[in-house]
Structure 1
Amino acid sequence: MTKIKGENMESLDLTDADAYKLISIFKKTISKNKYVLTEGSKGKIKISGLLDGTERQFVLYYMYAIDNIHLNFSDASTRYTLVRINLDSSFHKNSDGKVYGHRVEIFSEEEYRAKNDTFTHYKAYPLPHNSFKDCDDFFTALQQMFDYTNVKNHSSISFIEDNILSI
């Protein structure tokens, strides 16, 4: 992986091209689990893919609450967010302004440099954006995340609904 340097900034361990490659490789879930989805549920799903013949680990963190759903697909090695879906009424402050409400956040070298805060390495876009549609549903958002990040074998995990409400 390439490192980039900015003035008075720590290095970033991925480039946009690296992140795109990590997002686009075929992946599968590596643990068999049933998750119970209730108000306030949080957890993580371990995911694996092959990059140039080497196994690469990823984690999909999820959080479910009424009017507050988050899915955060991260590279386990660098711990960088590659893609994040936020279904809430909050906002994310990009270097060029705030994005309110439902949004997708995608890894961005340019945003890292522009924000110059040493930790923001993604840019937010209001939904719908590219292949992401706006929705209020955890399961629809989860399937969109799996589709976008090429997690093809996710039948080893399942979610059981327990008293959940739509937002």
Structure 2
Amino acid sequence: MESLDLTDADAHKLISILKKTVSKNKYVLTEGSKGRIKITGKLDGIEHQFVLYYMYAIDNIHLNFADSSTGYTLVRINLDSSFHNNSDGKVRGHRVELFSETEFKAKHDTFTHYKAYPLPHNSFKDCDDFFTTLQQIFDYTNVKNHKSISFIENNILSI
């Protein structure tokens, strides 16, 4: 059986690092925008790199916090009408996907390392708004001072 380079405990530790993260970059967000935001977190004096991949389109929004060194998804929110196949069945529509060592073993497909949950789930609410969803992911990961990450559309400050 293939193995993951992270355990659930490792993923939780990485999320803890995210909780102390600050970025000071400006980005432009328009219909069809996709890209990534490099994020450096620090915990107990040790720096770690993350990336927030984003895609923005009407009825198709994705935000994916990943660990830079492994590329594994830690927290992902999909606001679309498609589905994800969990080992115990499909989750359709708006969903949050969380790193799961258990799901990796259950799926046994060598790549699925997260489990999907329909929204709302835990602290994640269901909505259609990119910025509300971005705020939710920041709240979940406890990212502070995220106002320094700015998405600008038509020269209007959106955050």
TM-score norm. by structure 1 comes to: 0.87
Give how far 1:17 is off. 1.3
Number of the residue aligned with 2:96 = 104
What corresponds to 1:94 in structure 2? 86
- Kindly provide the CA deviation profile for residues 116-153 of structure 1, in whole angstroms up to 9, marking residues without a partner as x: 00000000000000000001000000000111112112
How far apart, CA to CA, are the structure 2 residues paired with 1:29 and 1:42? 21
The match for 2:22 is 29
Q: Which residue of 1 aligns with 2:138?
A: 146
Aligned equivalents of 1:153, 1:59: Cα separation in 2: 17
* Structure 2 Cα separation of the partners of residues 153 and 11 of structure 1: 36
Higher strand share: 1
- The equivalent residue for 2:112 is 120
Runs of 4+ in 1 over 6 A off after TM superposition: none
Runs (5+) with no aligned partner, structure 2: 155-159
Asked if 1:12 is matched to 2:4, the reply is yes
Equivalent pair of 2:15/2:141 in contact (CA under 8 Å) = yes
Residue among 115, 124, 131 paired with 2:123: 131
> Identical aligned pairs, as a percentage?
84
Contact kept, 8 Å, 2:21 with 2:42, in 1: the verdict is no
> As a proportion of its length, which structure holds more helix?
2
Superposed displacement of residue 10, structure 1 = 2.0
Equivalence for 1:41: 33
Letter in 1 for 2:21: K
Contact kept in structure 2, 1:27 and 1:47, CA below 8 Å: no
Corresponding residue number in structure 2 for 1:6: none
How far does the alpha carbon of each residue in 1:69-120 deviate from its partner, in whole angstroms, 9 at most, with x for none? 0000001111100000000000000000000000000000010001000000
- Verify the 8 A CA contact 1:27 1:153 in the aligned structure 2: no
Q: Please tell me whether residue 54 in structure 1 is matched to residue 53 in structure 2.
A: no
Question: Within 1, Cα distance between the matches of 2:77 and 2:42?
Answer: 24
Kindly report the root-mean-square deviation, in angstroms, between the aligned alpha carbons of the 2 structures.
1.5
5+ residue gaps in structure 1? Answer: 1-8, 163-167
Which stretch of the first structure deviates more once superposed, 86-95 or 37-46?
A: 37-46
